[in-house]
Structure 1
Amino acid sequence: MPAAPIRYRIRPSDPDAHLFGVEMTIAAPDPQGQRVALPAWIPGSYMIREFARHIVRIEAQAGGRKLALRKLDKDSWQAAPCEGPLTLRYLVYAWDLSVRGAHLDRTHGFFNGTSVFLCAIGQERSPCEVILEAPDHPACADWRVATTLPEAGARRWGFGRYRAADYDALIDHPVEMGRFDRVSFEAAGARHEVAITGRHDADGKRLAHDLKAICEAQAALFDPKTRRAPVDRYLFQVTAVGDGYGGLEHRASTALICRRADLPHPGMPGTPEGYRSFLGLCSHEYFHTWNVKRIKPAAFVDYDLARETHTRLLWIFEGFTSYYDDLMLARSGVVDPNDYLTLLSGTISSVLRAPGRFAQSVAESSFDAWTRYYRQDENSPNAIVSYYAKGALVALCLDLSIRARTNGRRSLDDVMRLMWQRWGRDFYALPPGQRGGLAEEGFPGLLAEATGVKLDREIRDWAEGTGELPLAALLRRHGIRLEARGADQAGATIGARLAMRDGMLQCSGVLNGGPAHAAGLSAGDAIVAVDGLRMADERALKALLERRGIGARLRVHAFRRDELHEFELVPTAATPTEAMLGIDPKAGAVARRLLSAWLSGSTGRPKRS
């Protein structure tokens, strides 16, 4: 007999107080006392966020009478034994304007299921039904709904009844409600839609044209024969704000926040930097439809939402996605090769600026994402490396190595396709107990199987080690020149990250081994004067460094808390942290062919005479 569905009802009960009202009904509760819990984290964002702290009131009822409800820990409760049905009613405070949580006011409402839907422990595989109720506030009378939750009576874009196969599916379809503009297009055999919330002047036709090209390029990578997306419908939920950036992937949608200035406007020439950044974000999250949502590390096949789920493979699942997101812009024709090289230069530069790459490997960074990458402090540049950015460069090195060793006949694309065929294509079609993913030590063998190339030592050195990557040599074989220079052309640096705070020039971070470190300066110190001259801002310091030069002895006065200290600081030459990439006009025929194949996604096989 099929399990009775877990039923939810959610309503924006008080937009001005930012409260969602939720009702949950469990037809057949555990006779020993039903436990319910809210997830402590959301898949795709690897940090314990303790969403249950936003539940401001909760009560239980059965048989028309109030039932005792005992809180067990930070995010779970247990109801007193009852025959059922058991109903819980609670309020959720929603004032997190991000892609991870829930937000509600008179302009719109947004939530991820992890923020609002309690899970019936022991009944996670039961089907779920959700009634999305319209707010009764007069300012919200014209609200609509944007979600990929399957309709169960509701009309698309409307309030009403929706369904999900189980709890995991329920929390993987975020909901946007309010006033939004819609853009739609067909791509890769699927309906694609964009819902833009917030004031904007976006050119919908330009956006649809460019996203269509990106989506089709990605589908062609994973399935060259069918060129179809793994969904029938996909939704980009975009919130346009004055200043913001972020995205979170879901199985048939993505939640995005962007600067409204980064959206394309009518008559906009070319592809400006801000718009490239937005398209790269869309490309990144869409790539996750395959890589992370269906192709997973084995540790994520059946994750525990109550506690951290560790893996050393985020450099593959996030890093490879970060490699392909910009590459797909080039392969789709949305940006030209020079623009792509500019984007790649930025990724290389971001890694060069972080001395933490010598202290932590990308595999270690992956494992420590929960406690270090997502909880950075003033010493993070010295201590950690980004598994996104350096992971993308490891992917680049692997891709170029495979292409060079096989004369363009194989590439990292073949590895992605093998993972898709083995674990991703049928992931949601299989019963939960039969799903699989990439084992922690399985990648070297998988790469060799897909390409015929053995790169075990390189994978060990690049992913488990902290040495420099052979970027210049590999790029040179593909007709690209790499040059690195200091961030400041004048060449003098104090080895500290600076920011204006409370009208003072403050060290936000001090880099290990640099002049500021040697002088004794620390994060939080506010520099007030150098050689007796007031430092009103960073420009003043830069001008002084240009005049004094490398090796000068500078007398620095700085406040540490409320105490004034004096330091002697000797600027040094800036280390190369800015990468410059360019196509080598002297590249040979083989390099030019490999370059063309890499940027186009073709096999690059030489033609037979």
Structure 2
Amino acid sequence: MNRLWRGHTGRSARRHLSNDLSLSLPKACPLIRTLGLAALLLASTTLPAQVRNSAPAATAPIPTEIPDARDIDYPGVIQLDVDATNVEQGIYQVREVIPVAAAGRLTLLMPEWLPGKHGPRGEIEKLAGLKITAGTRTLAWRRDPVDVYAFHVDVPAGTKSITAEFQFLSATAGNQGRISVAPNMLNLQFEQVSLYPAGYYTRRIPIQANVKYPAGWTAASGLPARANGATYAYQRTSYETLIDSPVFAGRYFKRWELSPRVGLNVVADKPEELAATPEAIDKHKALVDQSVKLFGAQHYDKYEFLLAITDEMGGIGLEHHRSSENGVDPGYFTDWKNAVGDRDLLPHEFTHSWNGKFRRGADLWTPDFRTPMRNSMLWVYEGQTQFWGVILGARSGMLSKQEALDNLAIFAAGQANTPGTTWRALVDTTNDPIISARRPKGWLSWQRNEDYYVGGALVWLEADSIIRARSNGTKSIDDFARAFFGLTDGDYGEVTYTLDDIVRTLNGVVPYDWATFLNDRVYKPHPAPLAGLTNNGYKLVYTEEPNDVLKSGEKSSKTASFAWSLGLTLASDGAVRSVIWDSPAFNAGLDVATTVVAVEGQGYSADALKAAVTAAKTRKEPIKLLVKNGTRFREVALDYHGGLRYPRLEKVGTADNGLDRLLSAK
């Protein structure tokens, strides 16, 4: 038999075997010969035939019908009219008249890649009732089969303009997205209520917008407007600038002048929330003053803070060149001391006028809202902004010095307890807005999330410590900020940059191997960069009492954090919100589908678990929990005896140090 297989494989081997086997069987054994042939025939009918499966032929690349953006003027001015009066149902009625230069194919786009959101966040699913007409004639439209944000329409000969009418159906429940329309206020973002013609840089498309608000409401925007009763006629501008000019409008509204060029515009669910003390407003004025002193130039003609104090409209923090959208909880003014979790928001978003809007990573800038954004420089765009949000918060008094230190302690401890730093570089987390679209993750500490915010802030804190050390205290990160961001005053265009530009500017402040420093901290997996703290005179420690910022965060989020002890965070009902990878909670098999039902035989409460953690310090027995996953109950034992641990910064010595000076008003 062996000789029959030698040199044959696959179907050839089977063919030779069936053909030759009868010849090899003894002629004196006819029964064996017959049975052998029958068995072989049976086997040949049950083995799958090795035939080639059907397969389509290779196809050409998917063709596109959408023209690329060109840096040329669009012929004519788009007229946009929005009726925003239906605040009970959150429905915007839109009418848009779009001039056309010639007959033929026209493609209209809804913005998809939105600045500040770092990903394709356009809410195309909320556009409804689209109707396009040319005079009295209704035109058929067709959605692009690849880019679903694009609508194709054939324009008849002789047509001077077409009209697009549709509704934008804003979220009425949290599971539909952020609620942006409430009974007493709204947040109108113009990308929701407009389409634009493909084939042009959006900065070259002129547009005039008019919006009708509910009677008695006041609206504010970074884009100037004339109010005629309830209708606001906005200044003619480019489509790019219109999208960068959102509106906050409300029944209860108040405005404070913070400087000749900056205003604070506030809407609230209730009029009593507008009762700001002069001291609180002075801190907002100091924020503007300290920011201008830091950066030198102002990259706006006028800047309007748009602030909503609400628990009815969804929260937001979104930057623009001449404004920012900010949402905080009730009590921002009336309970200033306990609003610490909201008081670094405006410093952060204001910084973005310089960092992110004026100076922007070269791969993040796009000519329109269809071109994908690349986020590789978000560790500068967001990371340094996160850093300045805390620093300017302290310099202005929006945060006390201790609150700023507490924030930095939380940043440092959070990154120090992120084991994902061992396998994933900080720069790779800049892809998260696209990879995960800010959806929940099961194992944040191992997967990492958008760590370019706080991880980036710690990198810039370390850079400050290097500048101070190498200049003998004569220079700091302030010098970098002024050189990099403080260019032409009043310019609210965009100046792009690359990594080489950052390195060159840092070397202009103080010579150092900045390229290697940034490569190690940002572009390679690297432990939490804590040297900015230690080199600037503070060290990260853990105590049994949470700092005030942590306490405020737990209260507002209705959670209890055992992240630095047991390795988990829980909601008030015992539902596990997060589990640190390889922590005691992780090793006990807990995850975010778990609810802690009881602690040591008693019903769950944060205080009961804190007491159990404290008691375990002086005993050998583990902490016993009863937990639930779905309908399944089980007992788990957490073998942890280290007591409660919460991060703080502890000053080394008594002399003024780098971090003290960094946090001091200028």
Indicate whether the TM-score tops 0.5: yes
* Aligned match of 1:480: 538
Between stretches 82-91 and 174-183, larger displacement belongs to: 174-183
The separation in 2 between residues aligned to 1:245 and 1:143, in whole angstroms, is: 20
Q: Is the 8 A contact 2:459 2:521 kept in 1?
A: yes
- CA contact under 8 A between 1:8 and 1:131: conserved in structure 2? yes
Q: Aligned-pair distance for 1:405?
A: 1.0
What SS is found at the alignment partner of 1:330? helix
Offset, 1:58: 0.8
**Correspondence for 2:24:** none
User: Which one of the candidate residues 328, 332, 335 is aligned to 1:258?
Assistant: 328
State whether residues 509 and 522 of structure 1, in contact with CA within 8 Å, keep that contact through their aligned partners in structure 2. yes
CA distance in 1, matches of 2:620, 2:192: 54
Q: Which amino acid aligns with 1:58?
A: L
SS in 2 for 1:296: strand
Equivalent AA in structure 1 for residue 511 of structure 2: G
Code of the residue aligned with 2:161 in structure 1: it is P
The answer on whether the counterparts of 1:150 and 1:164 sit within 8 Å (CA) in structure 2 is no
Residue 511, structure 1, aligned to residue 580, structure 2 = yes
2:616–2:641 Cα contact (<8 Å) kept: no
Cα 1:574–1:155 change in 2 (3 A) is same
Shift of 1:487: 7.2
Larger Cα Rg: Structure 1 or Structure 2?
2
Structure 2: which amino acid aligns with 1:249?
E
Structure 1 residue 394: Cα displacement: 1.1
1:380 counterpart residue number: 444
| Alignment pair present for 1:169 and 2:245 | no
Equivalents in 2 of 1:238, 1:49: separation in Å? 22
Cα pair distance change 1:551/1:258, threshold 3 Å: same
The answer to whether the 8 A contact 1:192-1:234 is kept is yes
CA deviations on 1:209-228 (whole Å, 9 max, x unpaired) are 111111111111111xxxx5
Contact 2:83 2:212 in 1 (8 A): yes
Structure 2 residue corresponding to 1:346, chosen from 407, 410, 419? 410
- Is 1:363 equivalent to 2:427 in the alignment? yes
Partner of 1:229: 298
**Could you say which residue in structure 1 is the equivalent of 2:612?**
544
Given that residues 110 and 196 in structure 2 are in contact (C-alpha distance below 8 angstroms), is that contact kept between their aligned partners in structure 1? Answer: yes
Structure 1 residue 566 displacement after superposition: 4.7
C-alpha change, 1:495 and 1:93, in structure 2 (3 Å) is same
Q: State how far apart, in whole Å, the 1-side matches of 2:606 and 2:115 are.
A: 39
Local SS of the residue matching 1:300 = coil
Q: Which runs of 5+ in 1 are unaligned?
A: 135-139, 266-270, 430-434, 603-609
Alignment correspondent of 1:248: 318
Does 2:115 match 1:43? yes
Give the whole-Å Cα distance in 2 for the aligned partners of 1:214 and 1:488: 27
Residues 29-178 of structure 1 aligned to structure 2 (within 5 Å): 31-72=103-144, 73-82=147-156, 83-95=159-171, 103-123=180-200, 124=202, 125-134=204-213, 140-151=214-225, 154-155=226-227, 159-178=231-250
**CA shift at 1:116, angstroms?**
1.5
**Structure 1 residue 18 displacement after superposition:** 1.5
Q: Give 2:32's aligned residue.
A: none
- Provide closer, same or farther for how the CA distance between residues 15 and 307 of structure 1 changes in structure 2, counting only shifts above 3 A: same
Question: How high is the TM-score relative to the length of structure 2?
Answer: 0.77
Amino acid at match of 2:224: P
Task: Confirm or deny: 8 A CA contact 1:12 1:20 kept in the other structure.
Answer: yes
Q: Give TM-score scaled by structure 1 length.
A: 0.84
SS in 1 for 2:104: coil
Write the distance in 1 (CA, Å) between the matches of 2:387 and 2:228. Answer: 35
Secondary structure of 2:210's aligned partner: strand
Q: Distance in 2 between matches of 1:233 and 1:128?
A: 20
Aligned partner of residue 374 in structure 1, secondary structure: coil
Write out aligned runs for 1:411-450 (5 A).
411-420=476-485, 428=492, 436-450=495-509
In 1: Cα distance, 2:85 partner to 2:269 partner: 21
Quote the Cα distance in structure 1 between the aligned partners of 2:127 and 2:337: 42
Partner letter of residue 392 of structure 1?
A: A
**Corresponding position of 2:463:** 398
Letter in structure 1 aligned against 2:380: I
Secondary structure (helix, strand or coil) at the match of 1:520 reads coil
The residue type paired with residue 177 of structure 1 is A
Residues in 2 aligned to 1:575 and 1:366: alpha-carbon distance in whole angstroms: 33
**Aligned equivalent of 2:353:** 289
Instruction: Determine the structure 1 residue equivalent to 2:68.
Output: none
Contact 1:403 1:409 in 2 (8 A): yes
The alpha carbon displacement at 1:89 in A equals 0.5
Deviation, structure 1 residue 568: 4.8
**2:285 counterpart of 1:212:** yes
Contact residue 248 and residue 267 of structure 2 kept, 8 A: no
Gaps of 5+ in 2: 1-72, 548-561
Q: State how far apart, in whole Å, the 2-side matches of 1:517 and 1:332 are.
A: 41
Alpha-carbon contact 2:142-2:152 (below 8 Å) kept: yes
- Give, in angstroms, the shift of residue 310 of structure 1: 1.7
Q: Deviations over 1:172-207 (max 9, x none)?
A: 1111233232232252x5142323232114316334
The SS at the match of 2:92 is strand
Determine the C-alpha separation between the residues in 2 that align with 1:170 and 1:360. Answer: 38
- The letter of the residue matching 2:325 is A
Contact 2:254 / 2:274 at 8 angstroms: preserved in 1? no
Structure 1 range deviating more: 38-47 or 89-98? 89-98
Change (3 A) 1:58 1:319: same
Q: Decide whether the 8 Å contact of 2:75 with 2:101 is kept in 1.
A: no
* CA deviation after TM superposition for structure 1 residue 579, in Å: 2.6
Alignment CA distance shift 1:2-1:32 (3 Å): closer
* In structure 1, C-alpha distance between the alignment counterparts of 2:310 and 2:630, rounded to whole Å: 35
Q: In the aligned structure 1, how far is the partner of 2:479 from the partner of 2:241? A: 29
- Preserved contact between residue 42 and residue 305 of structure 1 (Cα < 8 Å): yes
After superposition, the Cα gap between the structure-2 partners of 1:30 and 1:144, relative to the gap in structure 1 and judged at 3 Å, is farther
- Alignment counterpart, residue 9 of structure 1, candidates 81, 84, 94: 81
Alpha-carbon RMSD across the aligned residues, in angstroms, is 3.3
